[in-house]
Structure 1
Amino acid sequence: MGLRERKKQQMYRVISDVAIALFLEKGFDNVSVAEVAAAADISKPTLFRYFPSKEDLALHRFADHEDEPARVVLAGRAEGLSPLDALHRHFVARLEARDPVTGLSDAAEVLAFHRLLYGTPSLVARLFAYLNRSEEALAAALDGPDVLASRLAAGQIVAVQRILAEENWRRIEAGESAEVLLPGAVEAADRAFGQLREGLGGQF
């Protein structure tokens, strides 16, 4: 990554971090785009060059993971390992790392962000747009001879990961610790990917 691209990525993070801090402090609906721009010391037109909507300011962290399943299939897969097995291993590894994207994190700042996300309907709706793009990228990475089969597989895989993450978040929010929940979360992931493997019939 060149210097210009690194600076651009840094600006994305700075603006998003400023916005999220304001959203957590005041509530998503109580913060204007103009207020975020002022706090980040940039103009509104500049802000919109980076983020096309207010929702994107909050969901930039998910944008970083948008093409992660596709990357796992294309670049992060050991020789001889099927795409589904690679995705399964990757998800379990992220659980063990307490990656917030898996829902298995009880860090205070992560819990606050998840409450903001799941408590704001417009953010939930926008999140599904990110998930749709994740499905499209994964379908292209699977690149099976049957395009529809690749799209169906990608949709199921992304849905399974979303449901597992939401269940982990629900249990964390109910008071369970990530440490205690980890074995059960790994078992649930194994079961879910097993069902996928059976349903996809070894195609992927």
Structure 2
Amino acid sequence: MPDYTLEHAHGGRVAGVDEVGRGPLAGPVVAAAVMFLSGVPGHLADTLDDSKKLRPKVRQQLYDTLHQTPDVLIGVGAASVAEIEQHNILRASWIAMQRAVGRLPQWPELVLVDGNAAPDFGCPAQCVVGGDAISLSIAAASVVAKVVRDRAMERLAQRWPAYGWERNAGYGTPIHRAGLMAHGVSPHHRAAFGTVRRIMQASGPSSLHSSAEQPSC
């Protein structure tokens, strides 16, 4: 289980940052930043973990609790499909992280980033490989980012029901791939990703849905 060791070692305002959505074939990449001003309350410390290890219901409950707990600061940022295409997925995830930190109500003295590389936040940053299983701040950020992105994909699924995004959040599941083969590519698909690109090449220009709707952001 993650703990607060890294945050305590610094002793100042420390924000944990994590992103969700680097692997899917569709939708934005979303990042969250979470900062505990007065430490982590026991009920959160006992439950927070890497969002991938938590059941959806538990993630939702933690998301609500984080937003309702005093002295918990939260910032959320995203990078759109267009930005993913323009910059590549790694740099787009960094853009989302920078936006999340920039939306915190207070500026952190240190940012703990899940992974082995980090963008420039305008303050010191420390990379923590597997950080969502090590740092409570990063674990909290992973929960917030996961819930926000899943909700966004559920909303998109209402307009684009063929791909099962309400169940797969844009990842390349068999249902999603079958929808791509049967219905072509939506404006929310990442055209540079291999699976999407191959389907577009095989189907020709008609594989792109005609729509005035803009790519997800």
Between structures 1 and 2, the one with greater strand share: 2
TM-score past 0.5 threshold? no
Between structures 1 and 2, the one with greater helix share: 1
* TM-score (structure 2 length as normaliser): 0.33
